[in-house]
Structures are given as structure tokens and as C-alpha cells.
């Protein structure tokens, strides 16, 4: 039917297309300070033109020297990361006039990964023993009990995954990012993840097999959301910014940007898909009516279609022709 191409076109326009971006990275992060990433050699890059403009694909990758990192996370006028020896650093001096900042500041402690929210600059991380930590502004607060392999913080709170891939939400942190929360609550569902990223009323993640999922239905009254939705494509890692819900990802070094995204893109995509499904049903019914009328004419009977009905049928057929 003609409605099928329209469904795909509209969904692509609403953010179901992964757009390749030039370059080769191991991990990429997007936030208020733009898009940053690291490659397999640990070299650090900033995507020119993305500071304060998260919807932009940027124009080129600018090396940020000196320093090497294995993991990076973008906040507001700050970028955090950890080096190959689990040393912790943040990038200082980031501003509109100097989007790559002035230098790296070392922070006491050791973590294997760190995550900063671009909406609050709250920082969480985990160490090589899977112990969980929150930055208070002057020291690392050990969050006990609990063990996680990956943790993320954003408008929808603090979420993490353990060594079995189970997903957890930190009670009391949704829309209250600076809170340490009160406990870990397992998120319902059988979906298991190895990496997770928290946005605004959505949480993205990838499985061990590189399948992509997004948690929807997150609200103040239901902070763990309603369900995991499968997203077309395969990624080794994805990152969503809670300040814009823009999503970037990497797969085998190739960098991708999710295009056409707005804050409620996933909800709107589903709504328009349902609308186009209704249109497809109408067109199918119209085709059936036309076929029946033709059969009646072949039998020498009056089809009984008045001028208004004929006009409506022609309009529906014209719509179908336009979509094709």
C-alpha cells in the first residue's frame, strides 16, 4: 500500500535514522558543551560547531591536547573523563569563546568510568571493583550498598547496570539530580544492558549483542517508566544528552548521530505511526469499495455511488499516488 512509504518517511523525519558522521571513535558523548569523543588510542576530540548547539552535526573533529582518556562525559561548560590508569580529570575553562577549554584538572581518586549530567553537572562513577561513587564537589562519596559496572546521571535521575546486565534506578534522583538517592530499585523487564545513558524522560542503552533500547514513559509519578522499546540499528555505545535528548553512538569505530530528534520525538513518532496506520486502513477500505463497485458494474448493476462519494474516492486515490 502507498501508506507504507509515508510511514517510513515520517519516522525518519522524527528521529529514527542514524546518520554517519566522519571520524573514528571508541566512545562519544554529547551535552551542553557539545560533542566530544575518544578514539582507541585514547586521543581526545571535540566536534567543531557543537558547543551550545547540540542538534548540529558539527563540521570537523578538533584534537584536544595534551592528554589521553579512555572514557569521556560532557556536562555544562565542563567535560569529565578517566585516563588509561583510572585517573580522573575534568576540563576547565570551557566557554562559548573557548569551547575546548584551557586545560585538564586532576581529581583525587580512581574510577574506570565517570558520567556528568549536562543539566546539573552532577557526577557519578564506578571503580574497577564496581563500587559506586558520587562527587560532592569536594570529595567522592561511596554509595553503599550496591555494585555497578556502568552508571549514568541525567534529568531522569541516576541509572546503572550490574555485571549481569540488570538495570537499576536510584530512588529519589529523578528530576532531583543532585540527590544521592535512597536505594537501588531494579527496573522491571527482562532487558539486560552493558551500557546506559540517561536523558530527559528517556533512558537509552545497548545490550551485549549491540541491540539498542530506550526506556519510555518516565514521569515524576513513574520514574522507572513503563517499557523498553527496541530501536533499529546496532551500537557498541550510545549517549543521550539530558539537556536536549540528542543521541550519538558508535559501532566498530564509526560515529553516528540520531537525526530529527526533539524532546518528545519517540512519543510523537509512535503517534504519527498510528495516524498513518489509520490512513492505510482507510485507503484499504476505499480500495475494497472501488473493487466492489466495479464488480457490480460488471454485473450490470448500479454501483450506487453519488457524486460526493466519487469525489472522496478520487481524493483518497490522489493521496495514495502522492505518497508513492
pLDDT (tens place) for every residue of the chain, 324 residues total: 444 344 433 344 345 589 999 999 999 999 999 999 999 999 999 999 999 999 999 999 999 999 999 999 999 999 999 999 999 999 999 999 999 999 999 999 999 999 999 999 999 999 999 999 999 999 999 999 999 999 999 999 999 999 999 999 999 999 999 999 999 999 999 999 999 999 999 999 999 999 999 999 999 999 999 999 999 999 999 999 999 999 999 999 999 999 755 445 555 555 555 555 656 666 676 666 666 656 655 655 444 445 555 565 566 556 555 545
pLDDT at site 292: 63
DSSP state of 263: T
In degrees and rounded to multiples of 5, residue 319 shows phi and psi of -60, -45
pLDDT at site 242: 92
Look at residues 260, 154, 237 and name the one whose alpha carbon lies nearest to residue 201: 154
In degrees and rounded to multiples of 5, residue 56 shows phi and psi of -75, 145
- Residue 245, C-alpha cell as written in the block: 535528548
pLDDT at site 17: 84
- Domains of the chain with CATH codes: 18-263 (2.130.10.30), 272-323 (no CATH)
pLDDT at site 269: 52
pLDDT at site 259: 79
Cβ contacts of 23 within 8 Å, gap of 6 or more: 37, 45, 61, 255
Look at residues 105, 99, 116, 97 and name the one whose alpha carbon lies nearest to residue 29: 116
Residue 116, CA distances (Å) to 166, 239, 269, 319 in order: 22, 12, 28, 48
DSSP state of 21: E
Cβ contacts of 190 within 8 Å, gap of 6 or more: none
pLDDT at site 308: 58
pLDDT at site 3: 41
Residue 28, CA distances (Å) to 24, 179, 215, 267 in order: 10, 26, 20, 25
Q: Buried b vs exposed e over 294-312: b needs ≥16 C-beta within 10 Å?
A: eeeeeeeeeeebeeeeeee
Give the DSSP per-residue string, 190-210: S---SEEEE-SS-EEEE-TT-
In contact, 51 and 36? CB cutoff 8 Å = no
pLDDT at site 263: 44
Write down the number of H helices and E strands in the chain.
3, 24
- Residue 307, C-alpha cell as written in the block: 457524486
pLDDT at site 186: 98
DSSP bridge partners of 92: 103
Cα(218)–Cα(270) distance, integer angstroms: 16
Q: What is the pTM of this model?
A: 0.78
Look at residues 25, 28, 31, 80 and name the one whose alpha carbon lies nearest to residue 54: 31
Look at residues 73, 55, 71 and name the one whose alpha carbon lies nearest to residue 19: 55
Amino acid at each position: 500500500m502507498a501508506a507504507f512509504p509515508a510511514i517510513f518517511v515520517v519516522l525518519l523525519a522524527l528521529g529514527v535514522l542514524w546518520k554517519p558522521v566522519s571520524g573514528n571513535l571508541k566512545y562519544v558523548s554529547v551535552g551542553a558543551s557539545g560533542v566530544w569523543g575518544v578514539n582507541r588510542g585514547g586521543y581526545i576530540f571535540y566536534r567543531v560547531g557543537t558547543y551550545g548547539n547540540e542538534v548540529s552535526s558539527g563540521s570537523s573533529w578538533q584534537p584536544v591536547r595534551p592528554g589521553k582518556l579512555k572514557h569521556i562525559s560532557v556536562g555544562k561548560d565542563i567535560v569529565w573523563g578517566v585516563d588509561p590508569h583510572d585517573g580522573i580529570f575534568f576540563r576547565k575553562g570551557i566557554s562559548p569563546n573557548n569551547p575546548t577549554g584551557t586545560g585538564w584538572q586532576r581529581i583525587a581518586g580512581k574510577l574506570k568510568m565517570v558520567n556528568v549530567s549536562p543539566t546539573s553537572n552532577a557526577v557519578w562513577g564506578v571503580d574497577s571493583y564496581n563500587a559506586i561513587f558520587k562527587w560532592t564537589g569536594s570529595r567522592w562519596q561511596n554509595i553503599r550498598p550496591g555494585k555497578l559496572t556502568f552508571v549514568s546521571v541525567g534529568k531522569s535521575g541516576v541509572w546503572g547496570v550490574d555485571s549481569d546486565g540488570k538495570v537499576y534506578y536510584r530512588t529519589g534522583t529523578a528530576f532531583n539530580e543532585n540527590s544521592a538517592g535512597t536505594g537501588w530499585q531494579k527496573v522491571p523487564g527482562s532487558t539486560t544492558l552493558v551500557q546506559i545513558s540517561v536523558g530527559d524522560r528517556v533512558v537509552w542503552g545497548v545490550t551485549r549483542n549491540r541491540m539498542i533500547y530506550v526506556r519510555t514513559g518516565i514521569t515524576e509519578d513513574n520514574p522507572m517508566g513503563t517499557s523498553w522499546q527496541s530501536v533499529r540499528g546496532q551500537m557498541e555505545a550510545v549517549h543521550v544528552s539530558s539537556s536536549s535528548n540528542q543521541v550519538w553512538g558508535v559501532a566498530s569505530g564509526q560515529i553516528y548521530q540520531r537525526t530529527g530528534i526533539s524532546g518528545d520525538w519517540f512519543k510523537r513518532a509512535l503517534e504519527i505511526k498510528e495516524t498513518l496506520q489509520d490512513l492505510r486502513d482507510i485507503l484499504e477500505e476505499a480500495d475494497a469499495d472501488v473493487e466492489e463497485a466495479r464488480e457490480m458494474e460488471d454485473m450490470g448493476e448500479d454501483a450506487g455511488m453519488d457524486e460526493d462519494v466519487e469525489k472522496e474516492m478520487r481524493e483518497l486515490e490522489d493521496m495514495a499516488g502522492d505518497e508513492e
